[in-house]
Structure 1
Amino acid sequence: MKLIHEESPQGGTYTPGELASKLHVTDAEARAAVARLTSLGMLRPADERDAYTSAAAGVTTARLVGSMHHSLQEAEKRIAEATLAMAALDQVSALAADVEGGDFLMVNHRDVNALLDAAAARCTSNLMTVQPGGPRTPEVLAQAHPRDTAMVDRGVRMRMLYPHSARRSSATAAIAECMTQAGAEVRTLTILCPRLIIFDRRIAFIPADDGLSALRIRHPSIVDFLAETFEAAWRLAKPFASNRDTGDGNAIASDIHRTLTRLFTEEDKDSAIARRLGISERSVRSHVAKLMARLGARNRTHLGYLLALEERHPLGEPASTDLGVES
């Protein structure tokens, strides 16, 4: 084939028979070689019947390599698409199986609600949930409401813990009242642990490091520990609606006042205090300003000193504290 290409200079025309005679090969061998060179673009049919002429070497190479490069790109594209499809299938398979094996599962934030829905559907007796961070948005509350009411309707005992600051949220108050009427129990506490959901003391969900994803826990000892932590907080918490019925509102405000005052001496930043209490930084700054005015503090450092003195020699506390938490 190499000899035939060399004997077919650009611009000249040859028939397979002429090439066979010149190169001393059989006619069948010449025709096979010509057919192969034509398929590679190195020869092309001439105007004369059964005659061929050579294509320019540079053009032939560019056309051949370009075609192969295009095919390689298409193959790489198909490989990438297949890889993505298999990754998606693996993820779906893991979710579908709800991964019965394994005590721990890191759940991507896009899949958290799907696993919560699956665990809620299997819940038969008890749900414990801690929702820190202040009032939840109406959108989040609306998303969880059908799942929660379905469990209560099945006879699941549902207990929900919120921070005291959630009492100032009209959306949270409406959901709490609705869930209480349905049979759930809702209480509030000054400071809560991070978000926690426990189904039947069997499966627990806690936040992951990124704050969006979640860690699902099945390990019996760890789930029991988390459940006991919830029980301890539950015993200290106050029923959500009781402040309107039994006068607990002043006690709750006083509780928040004491805790915020203590946190001021422990935390350097208002943002850390706000996060632990589930209130806004503006509310923290407002409270600090009131404390400075009440104690006659010249600055925050002086206020810390006066608060430390007051802790050792109490001077009395206000009957109520306005948190200024927006609804």
Structure 2
Amino acid sequence: MNELCPEGSRLYAAALRAGRIARTDAEPAPCLMEFALLHPDPDDPNWLRPVPPALALAQRLTPIEREINERRQAASEIADAFEPFMALGGQSASGGGSITVLEGGERINTALNLATAQCHTEMLTVQPSDRVSERSVLRGLERDRPLIERGVRIRTLYQHTARYSQEKLAYAAQLADGKVEYRSIDELVERLIICDETVAFIPTRDDQQVALELRHPGLVRYLIKVFEFMWSRAVPLSAGAPYETAPDGITEIQHSIAKLLVEGHVDEAIARRLGMNVRTCRAHIAKLATALGSGSRAQLGYLIAQSGILEQGH
């Protein structure tokens, strides 16, 4: 079991706010106990106290670390077995294999694992927000930790919404090092991974089941320039600025939403491009409407354009 049920998430949040929760109230969500998020109140057996989120997350990640060590050994043995074929593969890639279509999650991950195993200088990644499972955290740790141990520099771009993801924050903390940098920006288009200015990976379908492996030097150089353009406009993941309220009373994320509203995007498209769910997006739109004194959706677009908030350098 990798995800809390909706009721469990609601009750755990309520327990954290109140400091405790009645046993009877927690019964509808057995996942709370399966995740070890509650423990008996020593002062009253009828109540349960919440385990701090940081501690609970660490408990979940510990078995992942053990599995990483086992898989790392297996990966090393597989790499040794394929070493005789690497030179042959490099020769074919210099011909017609500069663009390779990868179909299926397993083949994509195999290609990524091989590319990162050969990475010796720097890896650049763009990671739009989505739900993070223990399996994806495991894969990320498996790939990134050996890179760090080899002295490879890693730079990763997230959307601002990653600041609300305990999984992503814990992942970043696990790999905290001088050669590892995490930044966030309001809007990202798609995933991107680049290794050593040599190979890049981009998805070609929304379900992430088909990807392109690019080894054409011109294409890779172009994608690096795109990454550097976004990186220069992003802020460190540890900074709080992107969600602070600006002098005009509107947060940075609401400025991003305003820009997309004026461009004519619907709520679902805005939420997808900014890495948040539709309900959260609509809540920000409502706050934006209140701040600008709008009484309707049509009037909101007009008021945004007239207010000049999109011309204030946000």
**Which TM-score band applies after superposition, normalised by the shorter structure?**
0.5 to 0.7
Instruction: Quote how far apart the aligned CAs of 1:108 are.
Output: 0.7
| 1:215 has 2:215 as partner | no
User: What residue is the counterpart of 1:177 in the other structure?
Assistant: 173
CA RMSD after TM alignment = 2.7
Distance 1:251 1:185, change over 3 A: farther
User: What residue is the counterpart of 2:224 in the other structure?
Assistant: 227
Conserved in 1, the CA contact under 8 Å of 2:186 and 2:274? yes
| 1:106 has 2:101 as partner | yes
Conserved in 1, the CA contact under 8 Å of 2:254 and 2:288? no
Using structure 1 for the length normalisation, give the TM-score.
0.61
SS at match of 1:242: coil
Instruction: Quote how far apart the aligned CAs of 1:278 are.
Output: 0.5
Distance 1:117 1:313, change over 3 A: closer
Instruction: Quote how far apart the aligned CAs of 1:266 are.
Output: 1.3
| Aligned partner (choices 297, 300, 306) of residue 297 of structure 2 | 300
- Number of corresponding residues: 220
| Aligned partner (choices 129, 134, 151) of residue 147 of structure 2 | 151
| Aligned partner (choices 190, 203, 207) of residue 199 of structure 2 | 203
Distance 1:235 1:127, change over 3 A: same
User: What residue is the counterpart of 1:250 in the other structure?
Assistant: 244
Instruction: Quote how far apart the aligned CAs of 1:194 are.
Output: 1.1
Distance 1:300 1:265, change over 3 A: same
Instruction: Give the Cα–Cα distance (whole angstroms) in 2 for the partners of residues 254 and 312 of structure 1.
Output: 11
Conserved in 1, the CA contact under 8 Å of 2:242 and 2:252? no
Q: Which amino acid aligns with 2:126?
A: V
Conserved in 2, the CA contact under 8 Å of 1:134 and 1:165? no
Conserved in 1, the CA contact under 8 Å of 2:200 and 2:213? yes
SS at match of 2:308: helix
Instruction: Quote how far apart the aligned CAs of 1:255 are.
Output: 2.4
Instruction: Give the Cα–Cα distance (whole angstroms) in 1 for the partners of residues 311 and 210 of structure 2.
Output: 44
| Equivalent runs, 1:15-34 vs 2, <5 Å | none
| Equivalent runs, 1:154-165 vs 2, <5 Å | 154-165=150-161
Instruction: Give the Cα–Cα distance (whole angstroms) in 1 for the partners of residues 174 and 245 of structure 2.
Output: 24
SS at match of 2:163: helix
Conserved in 2, the CA contact under 8 Å of 1:103 and 1:217? yes
Instruction: Give the Cα–Cα distance (whole angstroms) in 2 for the partners of residues 307 and 248 of structure 1.
Output: 19
Instruction: Quote how far apart the aligned CAs of 1:104 are.
Output: 0.4
User: What residue is the counterpart of 2:41 in the other structure?
Assistant: none
Q: Could you list the per-position Cα deviations for residues 224-280 of structure 1 after superposition, in whole angstroms to 9, with x for gaps in the alignment? A: 00011111111111111133xxx6752798322211111111133111101110111
Distance 1:314 1:223, change over 3 A: closer
Instruction: Give the Cα–Cα distance (whole angstroms) in 2 for the partners of residues 133 and 286 of structure 1.
Output: 18
Distance 1:313 1:242, change over 3 A: closer
Structure 2: which 5+ runs fail to align?
Answer: 1-84
Instruction: Give the Cα–Cα distance (whole angstroms) in 1 for the partners of residues 228 and 257 of structure 2.
Output: 23
Conserved in 2, the CA contact under 8 Å of 1:163 and 1:190? yes
Instruction: Quote how far apart the aligned CAs of 1:314 are.
Output: 7.8
| Aligned partner (choices 269, 272, 276) of residue 272 of structure 1 | 269
User: What residue is the counterpart of 1:124 in the other structure?
Assistant: 120
Conserved in 1, the CA contact under 8 Å of 2:259 and 2:310? no
Conserved in 1, the CA contact under 8 Å of 2:159 and 2:274? yes
Instruction: Quote how far apart the aligned CAs of 1:306 are.
Output: 1.2
Conserved in 1, the CA contact under 8 Å of 2:127 and 2:192? yes
| Equivalent runs, 1:275-290 vs 2, <5 Å | 275-290=272-287
Instruction: Give the Cα–Cα distance (whole angstroms) in 2 for the partners of residues 290 and 312 of structure 1.
Output: 15
Instruction: Quote how far apart the aligned CAs of 1:133 are.
Output: 3.1
Conserved in 2, the CA contact under 8 Å of 1:180 and 1:186? no
Instruction: Give the Cα–Cα distance (whole angstroms) in 2 for the partners of residues 241 and 113 of structure 1.
Output: 29
Of 188-197 and 133-142, more deviation after overlay is shown by: 133-142
Instruction: Give the Cα–Cα distance (whole angstroms) in 1 for the partners of residues 110 and 176 of structure 2.
Output: 25
Larger C-alpha radius of gyration, 1 or 2? 1
Distance 1:312 1:131, change over 3 A: closer
SS at match of 1:180: coil
| Aligned partner (choices 228, 237, 240) of residue 240 of structure 1 | 237
Conserved in 2, the CA contact under 8 Å of 1:134 and 1:162? no
